[in-house]
């Protein structure tokens, strides 16, 4: 077959962005979604048909056309995030086994990217014997040739990481003092949820740094983040371990905690959630974002009237939270993992892909996967790994993740 020579630059399509009526160059893998096109649908489906479990397919698009150009521009500001040639590449798919779930951590020194399997999804065939599975890929193997393809399955190996001792039901993860900090959800009533640190390199030895509050177990620690101003550890504790059938019923208030490792002090910073889940900080540390995934209730099913929300707090000098603001509400699925770029834009893994908001909560765009993204993470400047349960994606874009390496 003879291929036409590629033009020196990716072909740019010029479209009119409805919100500004201004001509913008739309990159090859992007499309403009005009929100005015669906303000009035006429025939709005009932909640038995359209609810938190359903994908919204805007008029004039299809599921296929949305995936064909997966960078969806809702606001012109998104162009500065995706740049002129964003790409999305499928790296691996794992059938029904949810291997690509959470605890997404990029280690700059080795260019390894770590993540974990879904701990509590028996319906997907995970089972507790697979629940301590940490994996990694080497991003140095993800070449320009790989990212030029939409489907590059088989080109990058997924390696198992056997931590010693095992990290039980890891779910959240972040870089911390040159090691990886994992939030473990615990198992049964005798293995308490815990925070673990694990070395970056083989033999991946691990140490528990917190497993109780004055002798009481946490419910199932879900996610962790580091306050960039103090270096303290913050974590969400929720009851997914219970509603996914591997932990006792609620044992302590579901809330957000702060842990000062050097003094040993543990303190609550926020409560009032249904299911506190993802957590991150703004690049300057003045704000914290916490998601509430109350819509998903495990064996109790879904309740679309519960929170599917991102909250923003002010973070005081002493590390405490104040002024809770409702930052965003997600229509499809829930906002699970959240991360920021160096400019303070907030990215959330949701039921149809990664949603991107500016710091005031305006939706700028989506990286559309068409299924649940529990978590994802930047790998420095211009690269992102997206965990879509049974699919592993690699994206290139212009934005840069905040906190690379995090060496507090």
Ligand X SMILES: *[C@@H]1O[C@H](CO)[C@@H](O)[C@H](O)[C@H]1NC(C)=O
Would you count residue 133 as binding ligand X (CB under 6 A)?
A: no
Report in angstroms the alpha-carbon separations of 316 from 263, 268, 284, 363. Answer: 19, 14, 12, 26
Q: Which is nearer to ligand X, 196 or 327 (CB)?
A: 196
**Least Å distance between CB 25 and ligand X?**
28
Give the closest residue to 136 by CA, choosing from 178, 105, 93: 105
Q: Which is nearer to ligand X, 238 or 345 (CB)?
A: 238
| DSSP per-residue string spanning 56-121 | P--TT--HHHHHHS-EEESSTTHHHHH-S--EEEEEEE-TTS--B-EEEEEETTTTEEEEE--SS-
Is the distance from CB of 158 to CB of 99 less than 8 angstroms?
yes
Would you count residue 95 as binding ligand X (CB under 6 A)?
A: no
SS3 state of residue 276: strand
Choices 22-30, 102-110, 152-160, 246-254; region in contact with ligand X by CB under 6 A:
152-160
Q: Which is nearer to ligand X, 71 or 246 (CB)?
A: 246
Q: Which is nearer to ligand X, 81 or 139 (CB)?
A: 139
Would you count residue 320 as binding ligand X (CB under 6 A)?
A: no
Would you count residue 68 as binding ligand X (CB under 6 A)?
A: no
Report in angstroms the alpha-carbon separations of 6 from 10, 11, 13, 15, 83. Answer: 8, 9, 16, 22, 19
- Cis ω for the linkage preceding 244 (within 30 of 0): no
Choices 1-9, 63-71, 146-154, 244-252; region in contact with ligand X by CB under 6 A:
146-154
List 11, 13, 41, 47, residue binding ligand X (CB under 6 A): 47
User: Which positions ≥6 away from 154 have C-beta within 8 Å?
Assistant: 92
Give the closest residue to 311 by CA, choosing from 268, 357, 368: 357
Q: Which two tokens stand for residue 280?
A: 């991150």
**Least Å distance between CB 19 and ligand X?**
30
- Please list every residue from 214 through 233 that binds ligand X, using CB under 6 A: 230, 232
User: Which positions ≥6 away from 152 have C-beta within 8 Å?
Assistant: 89, 90, 91, 146, 394
List 19, 138, 178, 199, residue binding ligand X (CB under 6 A): 199
Q: Which is nearer to ligand X, 12 or 90 (CB)?
A: 90
**Least Å distance between CB 306 and ligand X?**
6
List 19, 54, 178, 342, residue binding ligand X (CB under 6 A): 54
Would you count residue 109 as binding ligand X (CB under 6 A)?
A: no
Helix (H), strand (E) at residue 265: strand 265-270
Alpha-carbon distance of 130 to 119, in angstroms, equals 7
Would you count residue 178 as binding ligand X (CB under 6 A)?
A: no
Total number of residues binding ligand X (CB under 6 A)?
32
Alpha-carbon distance of 64 to 80, in angstroms, equals 25
List 84, 93, 138, 178, residue binding ligand X (CB under 6 A): 93
Would you count residue 188 as binding ligand X (CB under 6 A)?
A: no
User: Which positions ≥6 away from 56 have C-beta within 8 Å?
Assistant: 38, 50, 331, 332, 352
List 151, 164, 250, 326, residue binding ligand X (CB under 6 A): 151
Choices 217-225, 256-264, 342-350, 365-373; region in contact with ligand X by CB under 6 A:
256-264
Would you count residue 157 as binding ligand X (CB under 6 A)?
A: yes
Would you count residue 165 as binding ligand X (CB under 6 A)?
A: no
Would you count residue 323 as binding ligand X (CB under 6 A)?
A: no
Would you count residue 49 as binding ligand X (CB under 6 A)?
A: yes
Q: Which is nearer to ligand X, 49 or 144 (CB)?
A: 49
The dihedral over CA atoms of 34, 37, 40, 43, expressed in degrees to the nearest 10, equals -120
**String marking each residue 341-380 x if it binds ligand X according to CB under 6 A:** ----------------------------------------
Alpha-carbon distance of 303 to 301, in angstroms, equals 7
Report the interface residues with ligand X, using CB under 6 A. Answer: 47-49, 51, 53-54, 90, 92-93, 127, 129, 151, 153-154, 157-158, 179, 197-199, 205-207, 230, 232, 260, 262-263, 303, 305, 318-319
């Amino acid at each position: 077959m003879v291929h036409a020579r590629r033009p020196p630059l990716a072909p740019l399509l010029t479209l009119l962005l409805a919100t500004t009526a201004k001509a913008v160059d739309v990159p090859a893998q992007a499309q403009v979604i005009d929100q005015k096109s669906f303000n009035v649908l006429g025939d709005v489906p009932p909640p038995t048909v359209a609810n938190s479990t359903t994908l919204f397919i805007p008029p004039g698009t299809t599921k296929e056309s949305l995936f064909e150009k997966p960078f969806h521009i809702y606001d012109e500001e998104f162009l500065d995030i995706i740049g002129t040639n964003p790409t999305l590449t499928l790296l691996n798919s794992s059938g029904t086994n949810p291997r690509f779930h959470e605890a997404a951590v990029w280690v700059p020194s080795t260019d390894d990217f770590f993540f974990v399997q879904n701990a509590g999804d028996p319906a997907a065939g995970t089972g507790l014997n697979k629940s301590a599975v940490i994996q990694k890929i080497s991003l140095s193997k993800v070449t320009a040739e790989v990212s030029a393809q939409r489907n590059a399955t088989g080109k990058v190996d997924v390696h198992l990481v056997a931590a010693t001792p095992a990290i039980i039901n890891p779910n959240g993860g972040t870089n911390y003092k040159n090691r990886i900090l994992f939030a473990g959800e615990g198992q049964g009533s005798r293995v308490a949820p815990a925070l673990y640190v694990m070395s970056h390199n083989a033999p991946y030895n691990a140490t528990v740094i917190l497993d109780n509050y004055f002798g009481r177990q946490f419910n199932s620690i879900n996610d962790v983040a580091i306050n960039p101003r103090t270096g303290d550890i913050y974590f969400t504790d929720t009851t997914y371990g219970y509603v996914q059938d591997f932990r006792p019923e609620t044992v302590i208030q579901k809330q957000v905690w702060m842990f000062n490792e050097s003094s040993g002090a543990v303190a609550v910073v926020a409560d009032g959630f249904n299911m506190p889940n993802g957590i991150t900080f703004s690049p300057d540390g003045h704000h914290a974002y916490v998601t509430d995934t109350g819509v998903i209730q495990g064996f109790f099913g879904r309740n679309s009237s519960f929170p599917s929300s991102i909250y923003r707090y002010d973070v005081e000098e002493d590390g405490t939270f104040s002024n809770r603001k409702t930052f965003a509400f997600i229509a499809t699925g829930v906002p699970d993992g959240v991360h920021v770029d160096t400019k303070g834009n907030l990215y959330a893994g949701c039921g149809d892909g990664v949603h991107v908001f500016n710091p005031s909560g305006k939706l700028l765009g989506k990286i559309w996967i068409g299924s649940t993204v529990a978590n994802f993470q930047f790998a420095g400047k211009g690269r992102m790994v997206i965990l879509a349960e049974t699919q592993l994606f690699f994206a290139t874009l212009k934005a840069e993740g905040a906190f690379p390496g995090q060496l507090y």
